[in-house]
Chains A and B, each alone.
Chain A
């Protein structure tokens, strides 16, 4: 009897589940059109409401809207065939819709209604036009920043790993390096700018030094604490398996510390962005930080906004890349920090 009842209730729950599935499947079709409506509304408002801030538009924003609409439509068509894509799209539908509406709101309060004034608050059309007009300088600045960042981050990470591993492993090294780390570490790398400018022969090497310092500190701290906190039983098991010292360091201590090391790499990347931009604003004569500073000097705020957008995209992509690597390496671990 009891068994029958159980089966019965199971059947009911299966039916209701199917009901829900049908509903969501039907609801999917109108929802997927929401971004298209938003694109259309934005385009309509942008092209029909009279301009108040400036007389003419460059049609850059309009072109971007059209391109985005086309791209989104293609994705929608593809998602009919690819199940994963359709789920991804469904997830992003509300975000895309609201984002488009917000950008259009920005267009309305600046260019259209002039509630916010130039030169401080250019509209999306003016900002996006920077990418068309000044792309050469922007590209050059980006490449310059990336080169500096890449070299310095790599050196900082390597130094941090070596310091952290030897500190985590050797009590002696730990004893002598800890005070150094405690005193130097917390000082923001940017505070060293005046010293670095004097000590290093070129502004480039000076900024490499600053970023290396900014990256080295968190990577060292997280690596050494990660290694120092590895469960002793891992080492004991490895030793009963015949492990030598090299195995204990490279095959036990370091992999066990990976989760910590990745937090260090993440924090180091954050502080390297900061140091890069501040360093470029103050000393270096190229790069995105320099570009922002230079644009501000000419009161060309639309260029400042454009480079901010570019920076957001680049830095965010770099962090995403780091987390992709983390997911590959730490496949055995669940959780850690999400990005």
Chain B
């Protein structure tokens, strides 16, 4: 019932966005400069780049937790002015509410939106979906990192967001749990046709999961290059095309580093 219609996807337009911060010494940091990007309905896009290149900043702008200095961010043609449940967010730190058990953590979005009475049966659906059946009454401190991240995912999904924003969600997990969760996220993405923006520092993860990979470079943070991953799904992690795309990305990032060096010299 949950996945019967393709309603859970939205189109994101990021237009000439600039965001600057002031650091502790009073210096201006251009976290994002003139970033433009369109993410189509149901598309899976990854942001890749060295730390400090503005990936989280971009994601926070889409989430509405921060506002751009210049430019605008649109969802289905409407400007994003603040956070909203149609854009679900999962951080690297699961940030579960420690005072709520798994069930209530997953339900918190429904409760916050005052639709819990109508939709409470979906809570269990999503707990099952992320494979945590039987852990409904556990508290966050009793969960492993991977389990906690599954709860965070279920908590974001229960609201039926059009866009799922993932900021290095698997970064803290061990390799096996990470691969397993990559497959689960892909499965959910395909079932729900949800639009996904994934920030990752794992190039293989980006290639395995995304339709397009956005390569970003720092100082000032900007979008350097966009790579289409033209490998059919379901993908195999040892597909020869992987290595081709991988070396292309590495080249781009290395190239970026050299440019950055000369920039400083």
CB–CB A251/B108 < 8 A:
yes
Instruction: For the complex, give the distance between the alpha carbons of A231 and B99 in Å.
Output: 13
**Interfacial chain B residues near A234, Cβ < 8 Å:** 95, 97
- Which parts of B192-249 form the interface with A (CB within 8 Å)? none
Q: Say yes or no: is B172 at the interface (Cβ < 8 Å to chain A).
A: no
**Interfacial chain B residues near A238, Cβ < 8 Å:** 108, 112
Q: Say yes or no: is A9 at the interface (Cβ < 8 Å to chain B).
A: no
Instruction: For the complex, give the distance between the alpha carbons of A252 and B95 in Å.
Output: 12
CB–CB A240/B97 < 8 A:
no
**Interfacial chain B residues near A332, Cβ < 8 Å:** 98-101, 139-141
| Least Cβ–Cβ distance between A249 and chain B, in angstroms | 12
| Least Cβ–Cβ distance between B207 and chain A, in angstroms | 27
CB–CB A239/B83 < 8 A:
yes
Instruction: For the complex, give the distance between the alpha carbons of A177 and B97 in Å.
Output: 30
| Least Cβ–Cβ distance between B152 and chain A, in angstroms | 8
CB–CB A247/B65 < 8 A:
no
Q: 1/0 per position for B131-144, CB-CB distance to A under 8 A?
A: 00000000111000
Instruction: For the complex, give the distance between the alpha carbons of A233 and B112 in Å.
Output: 16
| Least Cβ–Cβ distance between A105 and chain B, in angstroms | 46
CB–CB B108/A240 < 8 A:
no
Q: Say yes or no: is A331 at the interface (Cβ < 8 Å to chain B).
A: yes
- Which parts of A232-290 form the interface with B (CB within 8 Å)? 233-234, 236-244, 247, 251-252, 255-256, 258
For A, the interface residue count at a CB cutoff of 8 angstroms equals 23
CB–CB B97/A255 < 8 A:
yes
CB–CB A240/B63 < 8 A:
yes
Given A238-B108, A242-B112, A242-B159, also A333-B93 (CB < 8 A): no
Given A238-B108, A242-B159, A258-B99, also A334-B91 (CB < 8 A): no
Instruction: For the complex, give the distance between the alpha carbons of A247 and B111 in Å.
Output: 9
**Interfacial chain B residues near A331, Cβ < 8 Å:** 139
Q: Say yes or no: is B87 at the interface (Cβ < 8 Å to chain A).
A: yes
| Least Cβ–Cβ distance between A289 and chain B, in angstroms | 38
CB–CB B97/A252 < 8 A:
yes
- Which parts of A277-335 form the interface with B (CB within 8 Å)? 330-334
Interface of B is mostly: loop
In the complex, which of the residues A231, A241, A243, A332 has the most CB atoms of chain B within 10 Å of its own CB atom?
A241
Write the chain B residue with the least CB distance to A238: B112
- Which parts of B107-133 form the interface with A (CB within 8 Å)? 108-109, 111-113
| Least Cβ–Cβ distance between B32 and chain A, in angstroms | 18
Interface of A is mostly: helix
CB–CB A244/B91 < 8 A:
no
Instruction: For the complex, give the distance between the alpha carbons of A333 and B89 in Å.
Output: 25
| Least Cβ–Cβ distance between B123 and chain A, in angstroms | 13
Given A251-B112, A255-B99, also A241-B141 (CB < 8 A): no
Q: Say yes or no: is B42 at the interface (Cβ < 8 Å to chain A).
A: no
Q: Say yes or no: is B103 at the interface (Cβ < 8 Å to chain A).
A: no
| Least Cβ–Cβ distance between B111 and chain A, in angstroms | 7
Instruction: For the complex, give the distance between the alpha carbons of A239 and B159 in Å.
Output: 12
Instruction: For the complex, give the distance between the alpha carbons of A242 and B84 in Å.
Output: 5
- Which parts of B163-214 form the interface with A (CB within 8 Å)? none
CB–CB A247/B89 < 8 A:
no
Instruction: For the complex, give the distance between the alpha carbons of A258 and B82 in Å.
Output: 28
Instruction: For the complex, give the distance between the alpha carbons of A256 and B140 in Å.
Output: 14
CB–CB A237/B95 < 8 A:
yes
**Interfacial chain A residues near B93, Cβ < 8 Å:** 233
| Least Cβ–Cβ distance between B141 and chain A, in angstroms | 7
Instruction: For the complex, give the distance between the alpha carbons of A234 and B141 in Å.
Output: 16
CB–CB A236/B83 < 8 A:
yes
Instruction: For the complex, give the distance between the alpha carbons of A233 and B152 in Å.
Output: 13
**Interfacial chain B residues near A334, Cβ < 8 Å:** 141
| Least Cβ–Cβ distance between B198 and chain A, in angstroms | 16
| Least Cβ–Cβ distance between B113 and chain A, in angstroms | 4
Given A331-B139, A332-B139, also A240-B99 (CB < 8 A): no
Instruction: For the complex, give the distance between the alpha carbons of A219 and B109 in Å.
Output: 30
In the complex, which of the residues B82, B97, B159 has the most CB atoms of chain A within 10 Å of its own CB atom?
B97
**Interfacial chain A residues near B44, Cβ < 8 Å:** none
| Least Cβ–Cβ distance between B65 and chain A, in angstroms | 5
| Least Cβ–Cβ distance between B180 and chain A, in angstroms | 24
Q: Say yes or no: is B88 at the interface (Cβ < 8 Å to chain A).
A: yes
Given A236-B83, A241-B109, also A256-B99 (CB < 8 A): yes
- Which parts of B62-81 form the interface with A (CB within 8 Å)? 63-65
**Interfacial chain A residues near B109, Cβ < 8 Å:** 241-242
**Interfacial chain A residues near B87, Cβ < 8 Å:** 240
Instruction: For the complex, give the distance between the alpha carbons of A239 and B112 in Å.
Output: 9
Instruction: For the complex, give the distance between the alpha carbons of A240 and B108 in Å.
Output: 11
CB–CB B139/A240 < 8 A:
no
CB–CB B95/A240 < 8 A:
no
Contact with B98, one of A236, A243, A247, A333 (Cβ below 8 angstroms): A333
Contact with B83, one of A233, A240, A251 (Cβ below 8 angstroms): A240
CB–CB B111/A251 < 8 A:
yes
| Least Cβ–Cβ distance between A81 and chain B, in angstroms | 30
**Interfacial chain B residues near A256, Cβ < 8 Å:** 97-99
Since A234-B97, A242-B113 are in contact, a sample of 9 more A-B pairs with Cβ atoms closer than 8 Å, ordered by chain A residue number, is A233-B93, A236-B65, A237-B89, A240-B65, A240-B156, A242-B112, A243-B112, A256-B99, A258-B99
- 8 contacts across the A-B interface (CB closer than 8 A): A234-B95, A236-B65, A239-B83, A251-B111, A330-B99, A332-B98, A332-B139, A333-B98
Give me the 9 closest cross-chain CB pairs, A-B, nearest first.
Answer: A242-B85, A241-B109, A243-B112, A239-B83, A242-B113, A255-B99, A240-B89, A332-B139, A240-B83
